[in-house]
Amino acid sequence: MAGTSGLVIEESKEQLEGMLKKEKNLKIQQRLQVLYLMQSEKMHINKIGVSMGKHRATIHRWLEQYQSGGIAEMLSIKKPTGRPRKIPQWAEKSLEKQLEKPEGFKSYG
């Protein structure tokens, strides 16, 4: 894949190692691990993907993020929006209020 062949990692091996030790989030750890492996062992994307259990396209996408916006861009995890809720929030709150009443719904009995 083109685009990351001339990638220069600005952080040193020691900096990346320190960041890896401090990080608690697994997703961010994996992204840091990619940079660490490329910086310290000069591993190829395919080999990194196999060793981490990730597809090479995923590794490539992370490195493209790094190339375009640095480490901050690569480590930002975007939350997917997901599909809209089926039951609106107001209906859910109304149901909760009804369930708190001792008599509940008429259809209980």
Q: Could you give the CA distance from residue 18 to residue 71 in angstroms, rounded to a whole number?
A: 14
Buried/exposed code over 27-62 (b: 16+ C-beta within 10 A; e: otherwise): ebbbbbbbbbbbbeeebebeebbeeeebeeeebbbb
φ, ψ of residue 70 in degrees (nearest 5): 80, -170
Lowest mean pLDDT among 27-31, 86-90, 102-106: 102-106
Q: How far is CA 44 from CA 10, 49, 59, 88, in A?
A: 17, 9, 10, 48
Give 1's pLDDT tier (boundaries 50, 70, 90): very low
> pLDDT tens for residues 56-94?
999 999 999 999 999 999 999 888 888 888 999 999 998
